Amino acid sequence: MIKDLDELRKLEAFVDDPQFRARWRQIKQENKTTLATYIQRNNNLEVDVNSLFDVQIKRIHEYKRQLLCAMHVITLYNRLKANPSMDMLPRTFIFGGKAAPGYFMAKMVVKLINSVAEVVDHDPDVAGRLKVVFLANYSVSLGQFAYPAADLSEQISTAGKEASGTGNMKFSLNGALTIGTLDGANVEIREEVGPENFFLFGLTAQEVMDLKARGYKPTEYYQSNPELKLVIDQMASGFFSPKEPGLFMSIVDSLLHSDEYMLLADYQSYVDCQERVSEAFRDQDNWTRMSILNVARMGKFSSDRTIAEYCRDIWDVEPMPIDLGTYSQEEAGLKVTSIPETT
């Protein structure tokens, strides 16, 4: 297994075994509990481990569209406020990542996410059904707990903007299902795991180019979609920043007057796709089956395979045997036994 990730394919033989699926779900719950403990300790926030852990962890950048995910959070919040008794699947939105020091818009998105969290997490009307968490000081060590805990992996960059992406591979390899566009490695992941085990939404790269060529007008989407309009109006009015009413006008102006990364064009497709996610998660047995297949079919993305192909096809060199010996997991660096503290 260490040298050949394609061995994961053997997991498919167990996908219809009820006991195997039950054990798979149990391990996922244990991983979610570990992350929930970290969140309680560092964010002073209790999250429901039975809720859908909707996770977006990556570098903060406009094209990666953390903002689109935040807009979905606001949409769900507005639905619950309008109808507190509605049957909504409980979700915990978990964000993490860092913005470049001089990247103003990325930092504003981080501020918006935290401001939305401040409102959502303290509103009794949505208690138990909606939580928002921003993991401060995100690091590789923290990632070791976030990736295995994720139910849903957010890979929602504007089609044509992501050169590859590796976070999506880590999430899928740890049993998370992906919601994403046809961008970067999402294309290959969807081919490997099967379209039925991937939540696809949004414009393709060609459609993005075509729409821009015709003259993209984001205000048309704003004016024609009441839910979208409400979300943007709340950002503009200071609903999430009452002490600084104009705080998020830079985001609003960017969305309405340029929207380079096509958030408004993809908004409805994304929200509709998230409805399909919610319905799928309600069927935990089938969700677990999809999770197993995601892991089993990720062997192609092994760095060992990539290097082996370079050796064979480009460098024309032969592999050298290595004696791994009898190291324990701890000695080999394969096991983490404690939750990282923030600094």
Joined together, the tokens standing for residue 136 give: 């401060």
Tell me, what's the pLDDT at 2? Answer: 64
Joined together, the tokens standing for residue 209 give: 């180019």
Low-confidence stretches of the chain (pLDDT beneath 50): 334, 343
Asked whether the beta carbons of 204 and 55 are under 8 A apart, the reply is no
CB crowding 230-243: b at 16 or more within 10 Å, else e: ebbebbbebbbbee
Tell me, what's the pLDDT at 167? Answer: 87
Taking the C-alpha atoms of residue 127 and residue 70, their distance in angstroms, rounded to an integer, is: 18
pTM of the entire predicted model: 0.91
Taking the C-alpha atoms of residue 49 and residue 34, their distance in angstroms, rounded to an integer, is: 9
Joined together, the tokens standing for residue 332 give: 């080999």
Residue 331 is assigned to a structural domain of this protein: no
Beta strands in the chain (DSSP E): 52-57, 91-96, 130-135, 152-155, 177-180, 199-200
Question: What is the total count of domains within the chain?
Answer: 1
Q: How far is CA 179 from the centre of its chain?
A: 7
List, for residues 31-71, the tens digit of each pLDDT value.
Answer: 999 999 999 999 999 999 999 999 999 999 999 999 999 99
Tell me, what's the pLDDT at 343? Answer: 45
Residue 343 is assigned to a structural domain of this protein: no
Name, in order, each residue with C-beta under 8 angstroms of 141's C-beta and a sequence gap of 6 or more.
Answer: 336, 340
Asked whether the beta carbons of 3 and 23 are under 8 A apart, the reply is no
Full residue range of the structural domain in which residue 270 is found: 5-315
Taking the C-alpha atoms of residue 296 and residue 6, their distance in angstroms, rounded to an integer, is: 8
Residue 96 is assigned to a structural domain of this protein: yes
Nearest CA to 94 out of 42, 27, 154, 50 is that of 154
Residue 334 is assigned to a structural domain of this protein: no
DSSP codes of every residue in 201-247: -S--HHHHHHHHHH---HHHHHHH-HHHHHHHHHHHHTTT-TTSTTT
Asked whether the beta carbons of 123 and 148 are under 8 A apart, the reply is no
Alpha carbons within 13 angstroms on the beta-carbon side of residue 176 total 29
Joined together, the tokens standing for residue 207 give: 């459609």
Joined together, the tokens standing for residue 113 give: 């996410």
Residue 65 is assigned to a structural domain of this protein: yes
Name, in order, each residue with C-beta under 8 angstroms of 69's C-beta and a sequence gap of 6 or more.
Answer: 54, 56, 93, 95, 154, 156
List, for residues 301-331, the tens digit of each pLDDT value.
Answer: 877 777 787 888 899 898 877 776 665 555 5
Taking the C-alpha atoms of residue 287 and residue 22, their distance in angstroms, rounded to an integer, is: 12
DSSP codes of every residue in 136-173: TT--HHHHHHHHHH-SEEEE-PPTT--S--SHHHHHHH
Nearest CA to 293 out of 20, 2, 3 is that of 20
CATH code where residue 52 lies: 3.40.50.2000
Taking the C-alpha atoms of residue 241 and residue 230, their distance in angstroms, rounded to an integer, is: 15
Name, in order, each residue with C-beta under 8 angstroms of 203's C-beta and a sequence gap of 6 or more.
Answer: 158, 159, 181, 211, 262, 265, 266, 269
Asked whether the beta carbons of 292 and 23 are under 8 A apart, the reply is no
Joined together, the tokens standing for residue 232 give: 């943007």
Residue 325 is assigned to a structural domain of this protein: no
